[in-house]
Structure 1
């Protein structure tokens, strides 16, 4: 399964924003400070996840050489 860098970052931003927003609305209102925290969480999740490259696929182990017969 190949996940591009963009989708990985978008999903991370949505999850970070949703988690912060869920905490912010616990009291029924969203203050300016909470709104700023939501925006920073979305930007942080987007930026940091986009900056980290995806791991390259693992290389298969090379086959061992058969024993030599003298």
Structure 2
């Protein structure tokens, strides 16, 4: 486990959660369904982003 993989998934979760929160707060009321959507967006982003490996870097100069 590398720090880059963890940081990548955390940033993706924050981005997905904030996008869902902004969309949900457009009418100044956040319902239970919108809260569940925000939570699932964060969890989905964490899981999918963590599962995808980072691209290998080449040492060719």
TM-score for the superposition, normalised by structure 1: 0.79
Partner of 1:43: 43
User: Hey, which of these two has a bigger chunk of helix by percent?
Assistant: 2
Q: Which structure 1 segments of 5+ residues have no match?
A: 62-70
Q: Which structure 2 segments of 5+ residues have no match?
A: none
Query: RMSD value over aligned CA atoms?
Result: 1.3
Is the radius of gyration larger for structure 1 or structure 2? 1
Counterpart-to-counterpart distance in 2, 1:29 and 1:46:
26
**Larger RCO of the pair (alpha carbons < 8 Å, separation 6+):** 2
Aligned residues: 59
TM-score for the superposition, normalised by structure 2: 0.90
